[in-house]
Amino acid sequence: MPENSATGSITREEIAEAVRSSTLEVFSTMLGMEVSAGEPITGTAAFSQKSGIIALLGLAGDWVGSGRLSADPGFSCKIASALLMQDYESVNEEVLDAMGEVGNMIIGNVKTALEARLGTLGLSTPTVVYGLNFEARSVGNRDSVIIPFTSEHGHLDVQVSIAPKPSDTSGEKHLDLAGKTASGRVDLAYL
């Protein structure tokens, strides 16, 4: 991972450990399910998902990036059934919402772990994508850490990509949507 002395630094191994421990904790405490972590996959190669359900969350601060969970539909239904304590045999709105919530819990825990080294980070609302024959990949050349998890019900990948926020030397102004007021209203500001 790139280093930035102004805002801290972090290694791929530290990110992998945050992903591993956060995922195991959420599956154990919130879902009552056991999953086993595989070996981390790291580097700048884009991870491509061709079908299934993906929950995407953005990370923002002095470091920026994203977190992503991806699973096949059958395992996603098992996850939703465990979270919502109701049986789901096929993907519906509740299954998609449950995957977004599980993504929020896992990546939220990863964010909290990373903040000790990188400073305060914001977390976006989850976006969930479901379909067949599509491609999802992270744009840019950011390092990624992907941890595959397996259970008796299927396979799940958790990916985190994060890097120091690039400094803007172009003089251009960019819209900043992250400034929420106490009332929850978003104030738009140009940087």
Query: How confident is the model at residue 2, as a pLDDT?
Result: 44
**Which pTM does this prediction carry?**
0.81
d(CA 79, CA 71): 10
What does the pLDDT look like over 163-177, one tens digit per residue? 998 875 554 544 444
User: Do the beta carbons of residue 148 and residue 41 sit within 8 Å?
Assistant: yes
> pLDDT band at 18, cuts 50/70/90?
very high
Query: How confident is the model at residue 190, as a pLDDT?
Result: 37
> pLDDT band at 139, cuts 50/70/90?
low
Q: Which residue has the tokens 């067949």?
A: 132
Rounded to the nearest 10 degrees, the angle between the axes of helix 93-118 and helix 73-84 is: 80
Tokens coding 103: 């993504």
Query: How confident is the model at residue 8, as a pLDDT?
Result: 75
d(CA 110, CA 142): 17
Lowest mean pLDDT among 7-16, 63-72, 177-186: 177-186
What's the Rg (C-alpha) of the chain?
17
d(CA 90, CA 98): 13
DSSP H helical ranges for the chain: 12-25, 73-84, 93-118
Tokens coding 40: 């981390």
Query: How confident is the model at residue 127, as a pLDDT?
Result: 95
What does the pLDDT look like over 30-44, one tens digit per residue? 999 999 999 999 876
Query: How confident is the model at residue 104, as a pLDDT?
Result: 98
All domains in the chain, ordered by first residue: 12-164 (3.40.1550.10)
